[in-house]
Structures are given as structure tokens and as C-alpha cells.
């Protein structure tokens, strides 16, 4: 049966309130002592002391209060970044970029989608009550797509705790929120969870797809029914379900990918390992073929003589059947710096091209200000 997302359950404020109240109830039940424990064995008879005969007053534990909608969404902020004029990404992404980010601790640490801040030399955070606070550029990870900023002054908002993106189920109702408050949030359904390959040498083994689409997806928060952060908005897509039904929606990077690399991003601005091999070209799947759509100036592919329009046939003698399959075969060769032997068709001629890969971060004009 073809899956069709259904999201018109309650108005947004009512849906958020219901989800948060449910989360608080679950938390309260988890903290309550179990009611079905067997009674303890009767101890030997003793003469009770006068104090022991007095009933002891007990105070019931207060149930945790669910945050208000305003409190919950205060942690989703607007961000604006200013990019190095000679940045490699300026041509495609511009010198000034705007989107959303999510405050994840009390010091003003913010996670966003990396393309909003990569190669930035300055950034600003705009809270939902209109305050603008400068932010430092902390770190960027190409492999996941996450970017980290740090506000230089207290934001006075409620940080959003991490949930478990691995626990999301197809059809589950969640919230997408961009900076600006409740007017910029909407209920959506989990349309699918599956592999995603992007033309810019980007591969996630499991991305989160939601529907219907949210118009302000860049850096938006995906919020679980428990009021926790489970994903960061990356793209708008034409087939969120992945079944060919052309259901529009958004793609989110699962938040589970952030904790293992967060310490590295904060201390060094990048992940400690050398990263996956980067070849320096974008690839499109057209009529069952992998076509080089752009060769990045100064990148490894350009140095190896690869040209726009080249057809990628395989890697090291093994056929590359899809874009994801191509990326997996390249990454199976090793980390950045490994030699990547490609089988290609160029000008209707079969060729073998060796490309000396590199870490994409070494090609970018990165400048941490943290």
C-alpha cells in the first residue's frame, strides 16, 4: 500500500501542547515507583519506639511541567552568516546566508546545517523576541552536514535536548520549526527513513524525510513528540516517500550523528579523522547513467583532467550502479588522500582516470572564530 502522510490532526498550538503534555506524563510515570512490587518480608517483632508509632507525612513528587510552546520554540533561532569573499562556496551559496539554528546548551551553542555557515567569517543569531547577538564560527563537518556556532552573549532561551532520531517511525507526527516562533512551525509526518546521496559527494546511510514540505527548511529543527531535537533541516525534495509517488517534503540530518563528533568540532573546528575521499566534482543520475555535471576549479578531478559531461562507469573495475553505490565504492578504498581509480566514458571513449583524493575541508577557506 502506498504511504500517504496525514498531518492535519490538531492546530499547531494544540498539537504541540498535546505532545508536550504527553511527554511530561510519560516522564512522571517513569519517575514514579512501581506499583506491583511484592511486599517486603516481615521483620522480627520489635518493640516500637514512640517516634516509630507516629505516622510520617509524605510529600508527593511534583510531576514535571511541560514547557509552553513559546518556551520550547525559543531554542530555535534565526541565523545570518557572512562569508569570506574568496570562499569556494560563494558562487553557489552566496556571501550572505540566512536560515535557522537550534540552541543546544545554556552557553549558547547552536547546531545548524553546515552550508549556511561554511567559510563564514562572522555570524549573528536573532532570537524570537528580536534580539540580535553576534556568534563565533566554531566548526563544520562535511560528512554529516552539521555546522556549529557559539553565541558570544547569553541568549536567554530554553536549550533543546537531544532525542533519539533512530526511534522515529514512519507515519509518526512530529514538528518542524524554523526561527521566528509558532508562526514558523508546522506538524509533519515521517514519510520515510532511508539512504540519501547528494550530487556534491554527500552520503547519509539513513536520512529522515518528512511531508508535507516546510518552506523554511535550512537549519530548521525536527522536534519529536517528547519535545526533543531529532533532526536538522537540509533540503526540500520531490519524493519524500521514496516510492516514486512524487510526494514533496524535506530531508533532515539525524541528530544521532552529532554527539560522536561534537567534542572534535568544538575543540578543533573539524572531526579528528581525515574524512572521506573528496574528488571535486558533482554528479547527476540521468537515465540510469552517472554524469559529471560540474568540475570544481582547483579540485582533484580538475587536476586529473576530468571534464563536465564525463560518464562515470565504475570504480577500480567495479560498476557503479547508482550515485550512492558510486560513493560507497569510493569510500571503501580508504580515507581522504587515497588514490581513486575511475572507469569513465569521455568524448565517447572509454578511459581510466586516477584521481588523488583529498579532504574537502582542506580545499575550503575555513576560518574558525571561536
Per DSSP, the residues of 25-68 read HHHHHHHSPPS-PPPPPPPPP-PPPTTTTSPPP-PPPPPPPPPP
C-alpha cell at 240: 519524500
How many Å apart are CA 88 and CA 366, to the nearest integer?
10
pLDDT digits (tens, 9 = 90+) for 161-214: 999 999 999 999 999 999 999 999 999 999 999 999 999 999 999 999 999 999
Q: 70-151 with 165-268: one CATH topology? A: yes
**Which position has the grid cell 547513467?**
289
Question: Rounded mean pLDDT of 138-164?
Answer: 97
Q: Which long-range contacts (CB under 8 A, 24 or more apart) does 237-240 make?
A: 237/209, 237/213, 240/5, 240/191, 240/192, 240/209, 240/210, 240/211, 240/213
Q: Does domain 165-268 have CATH number 2.40.10.10?
A: yes
**Which position has the grid cell 562507469?**
313
How many Å apart are CA 156 and CA 129, to the nearest integer?
10
Question: Rounded mean pLDDT of 315-342?
Answer: 97
* Residues sharing a CB contact under 8 Å with residue 145, sequence separation 6 or more, in sequence order: 113, 114, 115, 202, 204, 232, 234, 253
**Structure confidence at residue 52 (pLDDT):** 40
Within 10 Å of residue 326's Cβ, how many Cβ atoms?
Answer: 24
DSSP 275: -
Query: Could you state, in order of their start, the residue ranges of all structural domains in the chain?
Result: 70-151, 165-268, 281-360
Reported pTM: 0.84
Binned at pLDDT 50, 70 and 90, residue 14 comes out as: low
Q: Which secondary-structure segment (H or E) carries 238?
A: none
Binned at pLDDT 50, 70 and 90, residue 1 comes out as: very low
Please check whether residue 103 is in contact with residue 159, taking contact to mean a CB–CB distance below 8 angstroms: yes
End-to-end CA distance of the chain: 51
Question: Rounded mean pLDDT of 257-286?
Answer: 96
C-alpha cell at 217: 527548511
Question: Rounded mean pLDDT of 144-152?
Answer: 98
Question: Rounded mean pLDDT of 94-116?
Answer: 97
In 44-65, which positions are buried (b, 16+ CB within 10 angstroms) versus exposed (e)? Answer: eeeeeeeeeeeeeeeeeeeeee
How many Å apart are CA 5 and CA 212, to the nearest integer?
7
Full DSSP string of 93-157: H-SEEEEEEEE-STT-EEEEEGGGTTTEEEEEEE-TTS-EEEEEEEEE-TTT-EEEEEESS---S
- Looking at 2.30.42.10, 2.40.50.140, 3.30.450.20, 3.40.50.850, the CATH number of the domain 281-360 comes to 2.30.42.10
- Looking at 3.20.20.150, 1.10.10.10, 2.60.120.260, 2.40.10.10, the CATH number of the domain 70-151 comes to 2.40.10.10
**Structure confidence at residue 363 (pLDDT):** 94
How many Å apart are CA 179 and CA 192, to the nearest integer?
25
pLDDT digits (tens, 9 = 90+) for 32-88: 444 444 433 434 444 344 444 444 445 555 555 667 889 999 999 999 999 999 999
Amino acid at each position: 500500500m502506498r504511504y500517504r502522510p496525514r498531518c492535519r490532526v490538531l492546530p499547531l498550538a494544540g498539537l504541540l501542547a498535546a505532545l508536550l503534555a504527553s511527554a511530561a506524563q510519560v516522564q512522571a510515570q517513569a519517575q514514579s515507583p512501581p506499583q506491583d512490587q511484592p511486599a517486603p518480608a516481615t521483620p522480627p517483632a520489635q518493640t516500637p519506639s514512640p517516634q516509630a508509632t507516629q505516622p510520617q507525612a509524605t510529600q508527593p513528587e511534583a510531576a514535571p511541567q511541560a514547557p509552553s510552546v513559546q518556551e520550547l520554540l525559543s531554542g530555535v533561532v534565526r541565523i545570518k552568516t557572512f562569508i569570506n569573499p574568496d570562499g569556494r562556496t560563494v558562487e553557489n551559496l552566496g556571501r550572505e546566508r540566512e536560515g535557522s539554528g537550534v540552541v543546544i546548551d545554556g552557553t549558547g551553542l547552536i547546531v545548524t546545517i553546515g552550508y549556511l555557515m561554511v567559510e563564514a567569517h562572522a555570524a549573528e543569531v536573532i532570537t524570537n523576541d528580536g534580539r540580535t547577538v553576534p556568534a563565533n564560527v566554531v566548526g563544520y563537518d562535511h560528512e554529516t552536514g552539521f555546522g556549529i556556532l557559539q553565541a558570544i552573549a547569553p541568549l536567554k532561551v530554553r536549550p533543546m535536548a537531544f532525542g533519539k532520531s533512530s526511534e522515529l517511525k514512519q507515519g509518526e507526527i512530529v514538528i518542524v520549526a524554523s526561527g521566528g516562533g509558532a508562526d514558523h512551525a508546522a506538524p509533519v509526518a515521517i514519510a520515510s527513513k532511508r539512504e540519501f546521496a547528494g550530487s556534491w559527494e554527500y552520503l547519509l546511510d539513513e536520512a529522515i524525510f518528512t511531508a508535507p514540505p516546510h518552506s523554511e527548511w535550512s537549519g530548521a529543527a525536527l522536534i519529536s513528540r517528547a519535545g526533543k531535537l531529532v533532526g536538522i533541516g537540509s533540503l526540500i525534495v520531490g519524493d519524500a516517500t521514496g516510492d516514486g509517488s512524487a510526494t514533496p517534503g524535506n530531508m533532515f540530518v539525524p541528530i544521532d550523528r552529532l554527539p560522536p563528533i561534537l567534542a572534535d568540532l568544538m575543540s578543533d573546528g573539524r572531526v579528528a579523522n581525515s574524512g572521506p575521499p573528496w574528488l571535486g566534482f558533482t554528479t547527476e543520475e540521468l537515465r540510469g547513467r552517472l554524469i559529471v555535471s560540474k568540475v570544481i576549479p582547483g579540485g582533484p578531478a580538475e587536476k586529473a583532467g576530468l571534464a563536465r559531461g564525463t560518464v562515470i562507469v565504475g570504480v577500480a573495475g567495479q560498476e557503479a550502479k547508482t550515485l550512492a553505490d558510486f560513493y560507497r565504492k569510493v569510500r571503501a578504498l580508504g580515507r581522504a588522500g587515497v588514490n581513486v581509480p575511475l572507469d569513465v566514458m569521455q568524448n565517447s571513449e572509454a578511459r581510466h582516470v586516477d584521481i588523488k583524493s583529498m579532504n574537502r575541508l582542506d580545499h575550503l577557506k575555513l576560518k574558525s572564530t571561536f
